[in-house]
Chains A and B, each alone.
Chain A
Amino acid sequence: MDRVIPLDLTRLTVRELNHFLHHDLPTGEEVRVEILNPNGQHNLAVGLDALAQIDILGHAGYFIAGMNKRANVTVHGNVGWSVAENIMSGTVRVKGCASECAGASGHGGLLVIEEDASSRCGISMKGCDIVVGGSVGHMSAFMAQAGTLVVCGDAGSSLGDSLYEATIYVGGNIHSLGADAQEEPMTAADVARLSNLLTSAGIARDPISFKRVASKRSLYHWHADAGQEY
């Protein structure tokens, strides 16, 4: 098995932890870092750019694994606001629940939340994929520009408000759709794309039962006629 490096946050500051992850990870070998006693602290494992497996053993705070590149970060607990904010690549997995703004502005990579995510999940996402095993709160995928949000449970109110070119798949009920979001038929391509994402996330669900939500594309196009009214 790979080499395991334990880092205990009762002995290290968050700044020392992140400095180690940025500058002192061994190269040329597979490493796994275990972060012990996170106790809800913020900004753990942010800004990584390394092929490493990071396991955070416990509940963590805000902005966990923000800006992640290449690394695989797993939180064995819940996280606070803005997990994997601006994720670029790699995988961030939350074994518990996530608070608001999970995956906000994410450009690439995969965020998996095995239980529920709160409001504004995937807000302004720009190309990442987010798979939520449970439900999401209100205003999820607000202004989402590219990428995929998969919700295996229910979606809260105003799903996909002001949506651009991101696609949303929902396995449960949708409380309400936001402005310019619409439900569309699932195509074979949707089923294949969703099936791949569910497999990558390790979630056993039949993609056939999901609904597809995408943009009506009426809100962000310039209409000369409408413009002249003003």
Chain B
Amino acid sequence: MCGIVGFLAKKPEFIQSLGEHVVPMLTCMGDRGPDSAGLAVFGDPVESSLRRFSLYAPDRCFDWSAFEQQLAARIGGQIELSVLENHAVLIGSVEPVRLKSWLTETHPALHLLSTGRAIDVYKDEGHPSDIARRYHFTQFSGTHAVGHTRMATESAVSPAHAHPFTAGEDFCLVHNGSLSNPYSVRRKLEKKGIRFETDNDTEAACRFLEWRMSEGDQLEAAIQKGFDELDGFFTLLMATADKLILVRDPFACKPAVAVETDEYVAISSEYRALAHLPGVKNARIFEPAPEQIYSWTVSSPST
């Protein structure tokens, strides 16, 4: 059992207060997933020559200022590093492939959690309420966010195994359920040169969909292929720089409920995680149908 949450702000005041709405959702879903949690937040994209990188250091005493100096000396260019506990967001003009290669060579213990122009990712072990407090999630602003609370069933409890998973740029995915064929999906992708970082089943779904997008599919088309490729139970909540997308498996084995108002879209595994949201009691609340793609865009929401 795991919990998923998602939020898309339609009005500026909800963009500013995104974290205040999302944290009670995440904390409530701690009942479904108490061992680890994560949150991906999307904001205004940095200019096209720059990238945002979310980094995680397992060592809470990691020397981020020394890291910044080494990075400036080796990579150069414009660099801005914002540290929050053992996470950091790096904004710079460095090529993603070059940064990944440099990190692997010089700081193999560091995890690169996300790459893109709009996405920041935080994830860690512990109860979701503790993680939300540790990283000050209530202070986050942004257009949309995707969160997850994990109760591990198929692979280890670690920050790397926590969701959201990311692949490519500005794409993340959270999953409630269990895939029955992640290793066959993985073997297919590895033959194409795609590298995995964990043995988690969700990573297979994430990398499959990103592979389809890298081959030219829109996310919706990639998901259609995913319905044929991915076997098992899943409610998947995904985000790109400007979209929030929700799907359930053909049997709808894992729960999801969505609410849409003129001010926001909110999604959760259970209604009680949405009960605090303004106007929710009289809002349009619905349960997503199996194998249907529900998509909302930041600028012009639709289902």
Contact = CB atoms under 8 A, between A and B. Distances in A.
B248 to A, nearest CB: 10
B274 interface: yes
Contacts of A41: 272
B221 interface: no
Given A58-B281, A138-B290, A81 B271 contact: no
Interface in A22-75: 39-42, 58-59, 61-62
Contacts of A77: 281
The secondary-structure label for the interface of chain A is: loop
A100 B257 CA distance: 12
B275 A40 contact: yes
A138 B252 contact: yes
Nearest to B280: A59
A40 B270 contact: yes
B256 to A, nearest CB: 10
Contact of B271 (A80, A119, A137): A80
Contacts of B272: 39-42, 61
Nearest to A61: B272
A105 B252 CA distance: 20
Interface string A136-169: 0111000000000000000000000000000000
A119 B275 contact: no
B285 interface: yes
The secondary-structure label for the interface of chain B is: loop
B287 interface: yes
B255 A99 contact: yes
Contacts of A78: 271, 285
Given A119-B290, A137-B252, A59 B281 contact: yes
Contacts of A137: 252, 289-290
Contacts of B274: 40
Interface residues of A, number: 20
A124 interface: no
Nearest to B274: A40
Contacts of B289: 137
A59 B275 contact: yes
B271 A97 contact: no
B275 A39 contact: yes
Given A81-B255, A119-B252, A97 B287 contact: yes
A230 B182 CA distance: 34
A118 interface: yes
Interface string A113-141: 00000110000000000000000011100
Contacts of B287: 97, 99, 118
Given A39-B275, A40-B270, A119-B290, A100 B285 contact: no
Contacts of B251: 119, 138-139
Nearest to B285: A78
Nearest to A60: B271
- Considering the complex of A and B, which 7 residue pairs feature the smallest CB-CB distances, nearest first? A40-B272, A39-B275, A40-B271, A40-B275, A61-B272, A119-B252, A118-B287
Interface of A: 39-42, 58-59, 61-62, 77-78, 80-81, 97, 99-100, 118-119, 137-139
Interface of B: 251-252, 255, 257, 270-276, 281, 285, 287, 289-290
